[in-house]
Structure 1
Amino acid sequence: MSNDKKGLSRRDFLKTTGIATGALVGGGLIGGLVGYNVNKEGQVAGTKGTTGVNEQHEAAINRGLMFFQKMEDFNVLSQAVERIFPEDDLGPGAIGLGVPFFIDNQLAGNYGSNVKEYMHGPFFAGESTQGYQSRLTRAEMFMQGIHKMNEEAQRRFDKNFVDLEGAQMDEILTAFQKNEVEMKGASSEFFFKLLRQATLEGAYADPIYNGNINMDAWRMKEFPGNQMTYLAHIEKEEFMKYDPVSLSNMEH
């Protein structure tokens, strides 16, 4: 990526607003995240101008699709989350961190089926302060949202979503965020919030859940991960920096 960036980078935004220290999920982050890093060619940062995602995941271990049956749907998801959390000079973006696989795996489980949530009627439009209010499961909502992104790409630009330039993808994602896209069973604004939240969770979750590859997102925040103990250093005066530790690395 070129170093002659204009304005704040996405991670500068996260650091200077305090978001990187914990206030990630919730609120309106779209203005600071989507479109923050578009290279000179207008491609999604981190995709090196390609529309597939296989080459970005070659280094990933134990990552396979559990929910998506069509790669074209998975690729739309991948490009969308990369626009929300793009690669920059400080580290990888959503694709490089394995976020698409994290979301895929979550949609295949209890998260996607809302199995532990009350899902019976009556169904009314929820307030912004309320939680999940849709008759759709998250799996159903994600599939509809992904198909709607492709439909919007065809309607606006006569191309598939993955073939768009970065700014065009941003236009569609922003339309979802502003609730300008019609969806059934949920608003496009609510779907976008769900997509953004899942993106951030996949980036910063423990790698045991198939996101945050190599704990690189933790390293960017200097987050120590799941240390067994701090007793050896807790009384030291100087600042201690730890290499992050995943749950999967802990001895049993």
Structure 2
Amino acid sequence: MADENEEQQTKGLSRRQFLKNSGYVVGGAVGGGLLGGVFTQNFVGTTSDQTNTDEGTENESPEQRTQARMFFKRQEDFDVLSAAVERIFPDDDTGPGAISLGVPYYIDKQLAGEYGFNSREYMQGPFFEGAPTQGPQSALLRRDAFLHGVRSIQDIAENQFNESFFDLEADDQDDILEAFEDGDIDMTGIASDEFFAMLRTATIEGAYSDPVYGGNLNMEGWRQIQYPGPQMAYTDAIDGEFEEIDPISLYDHHD
């Protein structure tokens, strides 16, 4: 993570403009091709009673559809997660941050589903330390890695500052997260930098994926980068000057 001065100078460009101009969003979290991970695997099957949800949810707002925890049982764990993702994707003058976009609920839902159980990955041993490009080589499921990571963040905050992570000043929160990013924290079953990489990726995906997956509340993440969502066609907007289109979600196609 950049230091505070660098963050103030570059956050508008490095976080949103870079994602807007790169294929990370258009080809990945939005297009579903590059990232493929957190949200493309998991929305189907993350609840036990989805077969009869249409009648009960068709009149619900996006907030009602999104803001219900499915994985994190302890409020403290969820509050630590929320504070951590907000430091990764903070609210600023370019738009809302991770909490306002519903990213903590997005991550919670993914961990309750296939993504959290690594259900589409080979998870049998033997396990050896791999190259950095190979990612985690562990029997630890993502849901367990996230829970372990969140509680490790809280333990460090309490041990070093005698406060909960979510009550710390932003600079102190950043110091803790930077220690994870640098791989300086001892964790069981996964390196701390690998956990931080998963947390950061899930945060970005939650900010920019379709709201149907639990994040990007009210499509505000898309509005920041002027992405119109899954439009059926652009035939009425392909000529002339650039046209800003109000985004639509998969929810809109369903309705």
TM class by shorter chain equals: 0.7 to 0.9
Identity %: 46
CA deviations on 1:145-181 (whole Å, 9 max, x unpaired) are 0110011112211111112111111000000000000
- Cα offset, 1:23, TM superposition: 4.7
Cα distance in 2 between the residues matched to 1:180 and 1:24 = 28
Provide the rounded CA distance (Å) in 1 between the counterparts of 2:151 and 2:23: 30
Q: Could you tell me which residue of structure 2 aligns to residue 200 of structure 1?
A: 204
DSSP 3-state at the match of 2:140: coil
Q: Verify the 8 A CA contact 2:127 2:139 in the aligned structure 1.
A: yes
Q: How far apart in 2 are the matches of 1:142 and 1:251?
A: 32
What TM-score results when the alignment is normalised by the length of structure 2? 0.79
SS across alignment from 2:93 = coil
2:21 maps to amino acid: T
Runs in 1 of length 4+ with deviation above 4 angstroms? Answer: none
Amino acid at match of 1:109: G
Query: Which residue, 100, 107, 112 being the options, matches 1:96?
Result: 100
Q: CA deviation at 1:24?
A: 4.3
Change (3 A) 1:158 1:7: closer
The corresponding residue for 2:189 is 185
Q: TM-score, normalised to structure 1's length?
A: 0.80
1:126 counterpart residue number = 130
Partners in 1 of 2:204 and 2:253 — Cα distance? 24
2:220 is aligned to: 216
Unmatched runs of 5 consecutive residues or more in structure 1: 26-57
Give the Cα–Cα distance (whole angstroms) in 2 for the partners of residues 114 and 59 of structure 1: 27
Q: 1:251 to 1:163 in 2, by over 3 A?
A: closer
Q: Give CA deviations for 1:5-34 in whole Å, capped at 9, x if unaligned.
A: 994252233355x33333548xxxxxxxxx
Displacement of 1:231 in angstroms is 1.6
From 114, 117, 140, the equivalent of 1:113 is: 117
What's the counterpart of residue 20 of structure 1?
20
With a CA cutoff of 8 Å and minimum separation of 6, indicate the structure with the bigger relative contact order: 2
RMSD: 2.0
Q: Unaligned 5+ residue runs, structure 2? A: 1-5, 26-60
Say if 2:207 is the partner of 1:242: no
Partner residue, 1:73: 77
1-structure distance, mates of 2:233, 2:143: 38
SS of 2:139's equivalent in the other structure is coil
Instruction: Say which is worse superposed, 131-140 or 114-123, in terms of deviation.
Output: 131-140
Q: Indicate conservation of the 8 Å contact 1:24/1:200, yes or no.
A: no
Give 1:59 deviation, angstroms.
8.0
The answer to which structure has the higher helix fraction is 2
